[in-house]
Structure formats: structure tokens, C-alpha cells
Amino acid sequence: MMLQHFLQEFGYFALFLGTFFEGETILVLAGFLAFRGYMDINLVVVVAFFGSYAGDQLWYFMGRKHGRKLLARKPRWQLMGDRALEHIRRHPDIWVLSFRFVYGLRTVMPVAIGLSGYPPGRYLLLNGIGAAVWAAALGAAAYKFGSVLEGLLGNVKKYELWVLGALLVIGVLLWVRRRIKNARIAREEKLAVAANAQVHVDARNTSDE
């Protein structure tokens, strides 16, 4: 009852905030909770759509105005942003539609898209399509997951807190893994840049001699 009361009071607001900033884990949780009857799957999809859409529109316009400053704040953002720009320049529309489905690019990619000069009107349309497909597909998959789990375990209610906890732990572990990987890549990139700079210095000193 405590879980039900919390979800009735704050569930959809928490879903909106979660999808505004990141989204995958909280949408999966909400889809499973909808299967259990604590939330409405149609509202889950709609709220997830608006949260994702609003968040990515904000990052896009921040990218248009302050893209380089934003990316320069963190070495890993700078590295990921440069790579994202390469992808966008080759296949801009495809990436606008699909970046939500690539884990770890949710924040950096809209900034890079804005920085690339992608047209605002076109982004408004394609970002909406991408957000709708993402919310519907992931929400439906999580709902179906609940159905499959019930087929395997029988009465899921006995295990629902364990399932929610497991999904949350998996989401946190994926986030930590991504952070560690990005930090390692950023360190390697900084070392490579420093090594190249030292090579140029040595070459200049040699030529001066």
C-alpha cells in the first residue's frame, strides 16, 4: 500500500523528471509497475514522451548557444561530443531519430546536434518522432517483460519488490560502468594529446638546433 500511495502521489512526476534527464531505467520501472496495475501504461508512455522530448529540446538549444562551453566542462563530454559531431555530419537525420536508443548518448548527442547547426524546425519534428517511438517501444517492452515474468514465476506480486530492486540495481550498474568507461577513455585521450604535444615540442627543439 505504501508503494501504491507513493506512485499515486509522485509516480508520474518522477517519471517525467527521470525521462527529462536520462530515462531508460525509470521508464522500464514504470512499464513494469504499469503491468502490476500501479500505473497506467498509456499515461506512462505519454509522460515519458513529454519528459524525453522536453529534455532533449532543452539540451539542443543549449548546444546551439553554448555547445562548446558545455562540452569543454568535462573531458569525457568533449571527447564524446567530438565523436557525436562526426556521426551527425555523416547521417544527421538518422541520429536525431535514433540517439535515444544508444545508451550513454542521451545528454551529449542533443548538445552536439545543436552545435552542428542542425535546423531547429527539423529537429523539433524528428526529435518528437524519435521520442514517441522510444517511449512507446521501451514502455511496451517493460510491460511485456512483466507479462513474461508472470508466466515464469506465477504470482509476481510476491516478487515485485525484488524485481523492482533488481531493475534499479541493473540501471545503477550500467550507469557506473558507463562512467568508468568514459573516464578511462578521457584519460587515454588526454595522455595521447599530451604525448602528441611533447612530440611537436621535441621536433621544434631539434629543428632549432
| Pairwise CA distance, residues 172 & 150, whole Å | 24
| Pairwise CA distance, residues 134 & 145, whole Å | 16
Express each pLDDT in 18-51 by its tens digit: 889 877 788 888 888 888 888 899 999 999 999 9
Least confident of 36-40, 94-98, 201-205: 201-205
- Name the pTM for this structure: 0.72
The yes-or-no verdict on residue 201 having pLDDT over 60 is: no
Express each pLDDT in 145-174 by its tens digit: 777 766 666 666 666 666 666 666 666 666
| SS3 at position 102 | coil
The per-residue pLDDT for 117 is: 85
Quickly count: other Cβ atoms within 10 Å of residue 204's Cβ. 10
Mean pLDDT of 83-101: 85
The yes-or-no verdict on residue 192 having pLDDT over 70 is: no
At 54, list the grid cell. 522536453
At 11, list the grid cell. 509516480
Give yes or no for a contact between 198 and 87, defined as CB atoms under 8 angstroms apart. no
Residue 74 phi/psi, 5° resolution? -135, 130
User: Residues 124, 132, 62, 99: is their CA dihedral positive or negative?
Assistant: negative
Give yes or no for a contact between 109 and 71, defined as CB atoms under 8 angstroms apart. no
Express each pLDDT in 104-143 by its tens digit: 677 788 888 888 888 999 999 999 999 999 999 999 998 8
